[in-house]
């Protein structure tokens, strides 16, 4: 899940369903390619539960959610959706939705409880993911596995600080990745190394909103740590990609890449060159930070080098060569996207801990116009036109087929709704329809290669620092009884993909 702010805003109800219809009228509906894949997405920590059972070790999120005072609304994911016990029921649910693909993450500490390359392996954890993969295939659902979705082993965090020791983390992550390739790669044909390295770096090591909760205010260093963490993630990704290409790809015939999140940015004042440049710079600090080294095999964007100077780590000549060799192996671009913001260039020099490119971002432009109708989260507004623009920006910059690996929203006020109200999620249906229209137009009118769309999320779950407040699922979950109930959006997606996939437009 791509996060920005972890609480609903004060203006959650500034648009109702009728104004949403008026504000964002439908565009021409185009069909999607016949081989376009639709799927659902989840993350291990958010749904599995069984946090300390069957040999699973502690992750940094297990630690973070038990801090006193609480930094996660007094809630944790020790049990959450209880997917560890209810896995078959959840796969059956997906099958009933007509899902092609299920993107899930593997909990590193469920298969290597302490995390390190010399630490014991937990066969019970491996057995769980084998059962999941086999059951998905039995139901004709393609498994897509994410190796890391924010839940680093506490064991290696205690041992050497995880991302702060690049060589150690790179070696441990490669060992973990190789274990997954060897045990699951005969059936898993699409791999994702890291989910949203931007969030790991900034929200985990700049603002401290996410585990491990580091910032200047919590004994960290927001000036330097995010850039060190990002550098480590890029090199660890590249090591795993090289390992897969060298020792597994030829026999397993799969593909591997990374998932980058990002908003689209419009200039706060479209008539001003300063703000137009700010929007571009914000995209480079957000997406280009990771995309340029990984997909282009080159150094960080020049805008980052110019502002950050020595705070931005240098790649050695050997590392740059490895990036160049590995770039073509990243065979798709995983895109997590939710919304559009306005980018306003700040008039003063950047603060020492600035991570935006000296840009202020927000939902309102210089004319007082909102970017779009607000959802159940104040930072997430319905902005399908920006989504289409981002698809174009990524395609033209990186020339990789795009898979939308996360997209979705909570309905306004959904967390306070009755069950009957929550199931009738017309706002979410409208959001999905508009964003699917943006994809079809990007494909057929702009020539962008988009191969799939995975909704966030299969079910309501533990939404990180927001706890159980926001509900993004197309399936309602009662967190006391664990009863799953399909929302109307699930039926909408099933019928929409059934009817929209067909012959390509010319």
Q: Note whether 182 and 251 are within 8 A (CB).
A: no
Whether residue 185 is contained in a domain is answered as: yes
Q: Quote the tokens at residue 188.
A: 């898993």
Q: Which residue has the tokens 């799969």?
A: 254
* The pLDDT value given to residue 503: 55
Q: Quote the tokens at residue 501.
A: 């996939």
User: 334-343: per-residue pLDDT in tens?
Assistant: 999 999 999 9
Cα–Cα distance list, 134 to 56, 188, 210, 309, 311 (Å): 21, 10, 33, 49, 46
* The pLDDT value given to residue 502: 78
* The pLDDT value given to residue 26: 67
CB count in 10 Å sphere of residue 420: 7
* The pLDDT value given to residue 448: 98
* The pLDDT value given to residue 139: 98
Q: Is 225 a catalytic residue?
A: no
User: Percentage of the chain with pLDDT > 90?
Assistant: 93
CA 247 to chain centre: 27
**How many structural domains is the chain composed of?**
1
Spot the catalytic one: 266, 284, 361, 406: 406
Q: Which residue has the tokens 């999140």?
A: 261
**What is the residue range of 111's domain?**
18-501
CATH code, domain with 431? 3.20.20.80
Whether residue 6 is contained in a domain is answered as: no
Closest CA to 108 of 14, 234, 240, 226: 240
Least confident of 2-6, 108-112, 208-212: 2-6
Phi, psi of 493 (to 5 degrees): -65, -40
Q: Is the Cα torsion angle 162, 165, 166, 168 positive or negative in sign?
A: negative
Whether residue 13 is contained in a domain is answered as: no
* The pLDDT value given to residue 27: 72
Spot the catalytic one: 48, 196, 284, 463: 196
User: 421-465: per-residue pLDDT in tens?
Assistant: 999 999 999 999 999 999 999 999 999 999 999 999 999 999 999
Whether residue 422 is contained in a domain is answered as: yes
Q: Mean per-residue pLDDT for 19-36?
A: 79
> Which residues pair with residue 261 across a beta bridge?
336
Query: CA 506, CA 501: separation in Å to the nearest integer?
Result: 15
> Given a cut of 60, is residue 239 above it in pLDDT?
yes
| pLDDT bucket at 23, cuts 50 / 70 / 90 | low
Whether residue 5 is contained in a domain is answered as: no
Higher per-residue confidence, 15 vs 70? 70
Q: Note whether 290 and 230 are within 8 A (CB).
A: yes
> Given a cut of 50, is residue 4 above it in pLDDT?
no
Nearest-5° angle of CA 134, CA 139, CA 140? 95
Q: Mean per-residue pLDDT for 78-104?
A: 98
Query: CA 379, CA 75: separation in Å to the nearest integer?
Result: 22
Query: CA 320, CA 306: separation in Å to the nearest integer?
Result: 19
Give the single-character DSSP code of 166. Answer: H
Q: Quote the tokens at residue 174.
A: 């490669």
User: 159-212: per-residue pLDDT in tens?
Assistant: 999 999 999 999 999 999 999 999 999 999 999 999 999 999 999 999 999 999
| Residue 457, preceding peptide bond in cis (omega within 30° of 0) | yes
* The pLDDT value given to residue 21: 63
Query: CA 332, CA 348: separation in Å to the nearest integer?
Result: 39
Q: Is 406 a catalytic residue?
A: yes
Query: CA 20, CA 437: separation in Å to the nearest integer?
Result: 16
Whether residue 4 is contained in a domain is answered as: no
Nearest-5° angle of CA 145, CA 392, CA 28? 100
Task: Quote the mean pLDDT of the chain.
Answer: 95
Closest CA to 450 of 438, 432, 458, 433: 438
Q: Which residues of 220-241 are buried (b: 16+ CB within 10 A; e: fewer)?
A: bebbbbbbbbbbbbbbbbbbbb
Q: Note whether 104 and 146 are within 8 A (CB).
A: yes
Whether residue 497 is contained in a domain is answered as: yes
Whether residue 9 is contained in a domain is answered as: no
| pLDDT bucket at 9, cuts 50 / 70 / 90 | very low
User: 256-291: per-residue pLDDT in tens?
Assistant: 999 999 999 999 999 999 999 999 999 999 999 999
């Amino acid at each position: 899940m791509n996060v920005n702010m972890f609480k609903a805003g004060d203006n959650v109800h500034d648009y109702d369903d009728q104004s949403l219809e008026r504000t964002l009228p439908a565009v021409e509906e185009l069909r999607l390619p016949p081989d376009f894949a639709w799927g659902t997405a989840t993350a291990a920590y958010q749904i599995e539960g069984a946090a300390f059972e069957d040999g699973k070790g502690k992750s940094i999120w297990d630690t973070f959610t038990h801090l006193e005072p609480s930094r996660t609304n007094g809630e944790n994911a020790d049990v959450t959706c209880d997917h560890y016990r209810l896995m078959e029921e959840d796969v059956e649910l997906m099958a009933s939705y007509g899902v092609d693909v299920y993107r899930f993450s593997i909990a590193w500490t469920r298969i290597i409880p302490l995390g390190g390359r010399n630490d014991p392996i937990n066969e019970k954890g491996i057995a769980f993911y084998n059962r999941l993969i086999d059951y998905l295939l039995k139901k004709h659902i393609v498994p897509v596995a994410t190796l890391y979705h924010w839940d680093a082993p506490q064991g290696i965090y205690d041992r050497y600080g995880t991302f702060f020791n690049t060589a150690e983390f790179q070696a441990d992550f490669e060992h973990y990745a190789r274990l997954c390739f060897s045990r699951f790669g005969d059936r898993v044909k699409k791999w994702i190394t890291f989910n949203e390295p931007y969030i790991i770096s900034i929200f985990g090591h700049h603002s401290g909103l996410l585990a491990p909760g580091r910032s200047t205010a919590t004994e960290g260093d927001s000036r330097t740590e995010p850039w060190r963490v990002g550098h480590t993630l890029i090199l660890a990704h590249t090591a795993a990609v090289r390992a897969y290409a060298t020792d597994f790809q030829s026999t397993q015939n799969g593909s591997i890449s990374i998932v980058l999140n990002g908003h689209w940015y419009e200039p706060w004042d479209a008539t001003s060159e300063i703000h137009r440049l700010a929007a571009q710079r914000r995209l480079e600090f957000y997406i280009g930070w990771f995309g340029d080294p990984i997909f282009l095999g080159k150094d960080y964007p020049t805008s980052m080098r110019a502002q950050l100077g020595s705070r931005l780590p240098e790649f050695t000549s050997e590392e740059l060569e490895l990036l160049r060799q590995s770039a073509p192996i990243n065979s798709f671009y995983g895109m997590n996207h939710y919304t559009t913001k306005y980018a306003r260039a700040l008039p003063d020099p950047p603060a020492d801990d600035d991570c935006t490119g000296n840009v202020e971002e927000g939902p309102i432009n210089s004319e007082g116009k909102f970017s779009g109708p607000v959802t159940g989260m104040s930072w997430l507004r319905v902005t399908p036109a920006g989504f289409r623009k981002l698809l174009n920006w990524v395609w033209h910059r990186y020339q990789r087929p795009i898979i939308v690996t996360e997209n979705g929203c909570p309905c306004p006020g959904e967390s306070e709704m009755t069950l009957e109200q929550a199931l009738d999620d017309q706002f979410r249906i409208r959001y999905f329809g508009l964003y699917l229209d943006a994809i079809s137009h990007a494909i057929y009118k702009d020539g962008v290669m988009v191969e799939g769309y995975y909704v966030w999320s299969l079910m309501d779950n533990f939404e990180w620092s927001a706890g159980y407040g926001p509900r993004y699922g197309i399936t309602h979950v009662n967190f006391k009884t664990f009863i799953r109930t399909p929302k109307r959006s699930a039926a909408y997606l099933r019928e929409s993909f059934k009817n929209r996939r067909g012959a390509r437009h010319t």
